[in-house]
Structure 1
């Protein structure tokens, strides 16, 4: 008798395990609320660049250093405006630092004397924003005759980002639909049973691809009694815009 009971119990366990392997019945997921994250991407070639140019002078006379910086910055601004009239210019970061000699270790008990500067470092930055990428090498080459190339930042113009916003939303919503269909299939439900309750769009993208270019002090351009700087080569690259969303989906 005990053998029969054992065989019956084993059969019941086998049926139960088989039922679990086949998944829950669809009725078990009625009214289920599922939180679904989704993401959409749009890739676009960069169509704008922000160039940072700089000038720095050092002299024992602070006024002489500042005068040369002011003169060369004025020259650099004029060169950039002539090379690219469409560019938007912004001068920034004017600085003046005292240069001190290296201090030797003082003997014990000696009182340190006030340090006296031996010179002055004066500098300024010029930010240039333009969509004229075709003329960028020529513009930078001309500017490097007077100023130093400090940094490049390729990205998308604000108008381009706004234009791509519709595509980002559509891509994110399409990804949501794909995920809802996959979830419905895993639950053994029809995708037609899914009802979107809430959609929360959260835009989060990498709007700029930074390219750092180390620059060195260069001589004046030919028109300023110096040598002409060869044109550099730039690759603007592309930017990926992301649109994230979180949706609440209920299965009826």
Structure 2
């Protein structure tokens, strides 16, 4: 090899060594991301009933009877479901307020009462869900239905989500080391912050508040079974790792 080429080669080696040495002790902040998907295996429903009557006691009595009937039906159709009543309300109904001849507003008295009650039901029996809902709708009104993951499935997927995110962190560290002209083994993981992004909780579907007004649930001889598509839920996780190069 000629002297000029030898000098150039030596210069390149020295420059490479200097470049590698310049990253010694460098602290690198590495964001990582992971996600897992799973078919929804739990349904959360809100049933309700509302009655209106001039007699508050009469309205409340009909609501209580229908809620009792509805609970019996839902328990019979799906014995393993979790059921609870909630949101009992009683509101006065006033007539339209119009000014008197002298322009003053009259004091209104209630002309009736609106009484209602809700039932929340959670079940993992999605196969029998259409039949259960149709049976419940003979007495109660279905106000809301949302699909999600059961606690057991969420726990299982949480382990997979952590593993996927940590694997992505290792892959990014290897890529960063290569870009810096270093070996992955030169990187020492200093800190792993699973809360660094603020986006580490499962944003699963949450049932919203039931509407204040609902159609009265009437007894029906037969209700056609509804069709449902549970879909899937994606669980995501972000973390931030701090890596120091030797």
| Cα drift, residue 241 of structure 1 | 1.2
Question: How far is 1:158 from its partner?
Answer: 0.7
Q: Structure 2, unaligned stretches of length 5 or more?
A: 1-15
Offset, 1:106: 4.6
Is the Cα contact below 8 Å between 1:93 and 1:124 reproduced in 2? yes
**Number of the residue aligned with 2:159:** 166
- SS state of the match for residue 194, structure 2? strand
Work out the CA distance in 1 between the residues paired with 2:209 and 2:136: 17
Secondary structure in structure 1 of the residue aligned to 2:145: strand
Task: Pick from 199, 205, 223 the counterpart of residue 229 of structure 1.
Answer: 223
Instruction: Work out whether 1:131 is the aligned partner of 2:124.
Output: yes
Task: Tell me the equivalent position of 1:34.
Answer: 28
Q: 1:98 aligned to 84, 88, 92, which one?
A: 92
Match of 2:80 among 77, 86, 93: 86
For 1:213 and 1:60, the matched residues in 2 are separated by 24
Is residue 151–residue 212 contact of structure 1 (8 Å, CA) maintained in 2?
no
Which of 184, 204, 208 does residue 205 from structure 2 map onto? 208
Q: Per-residue deviation at 1:119?
A: 0.9
The alignment's TM-score, normalised by the length of structure 2, stands at: 0.84
- For the Cα contact (< 8 Å) 1:181–1:191, is it kept in 2? yes
Deviation at 1:201, TM superposition (A): 1.9
Q: Secondary structure at the match of 1:208?
A: coil
Cα distance between partner residues in 1 of 2:185 and 2:62:
73
Instruction: Indicate the residue corresponding to 2:50 in structure 1.
Output: 56
Alignment coverage as a number of residue pairs:
224
Residue 218 of structure 2 corresponds to residue 219 of structure 1? yes
Between the aligned partners of 1:230 and 1:104, the Cα distance in structure 2 is 44
Q: Is the partner of 1:133 in helix, strand or coil?
A: coil
**2:225 counterpart SS class:** coil
C-alpha contact (below 8 Å) 1:149/1:213 kept by paired residues: no
Flag the 1:70–1:56 CA change in 2: closer, same or farther, 3 A.
Answer: same
**Residue 185 to residue 105, structure 1, CA distance change in 2 (3 Å):** farther
Q: Is the 8 A contact 2:100 2:106 kept in 1?
A: no
Counterpart for residue 247 of structure 1: 241
Is 1:152 matched up with 2:145?
yes
Instruction: Assess, with a 3 A threshold, how the Cα gap between structure 1 residues 193 and 142 changes in structure 2: closer, same or farther.
Output: same
- Pick aligned residue for 1:198 from 191, 198, 221: 191
- Measured after TM superposition, the shift of residue 62 of structure 1 is 0.7
Q: Distance in 2 between matches of 1:212 and 1:56?
A: 16
Alpha-carbon shift at residue 180 of structure 1 (Å): 1.0
Q: Does the Cα contact within 8 Å between 1:193 and 1:251 map onto a contact in 2?
A: yes
Q: Residue by residue, what CA displacement relative to the aligned partner does 1:85-114 show, whole Å, maximum 9, x if unpaired?
A: 11111000000001111112455x644332
Closer/same/farther in 2, CA of residues 105 and 178 from structure 1, 3 Å limit: farther
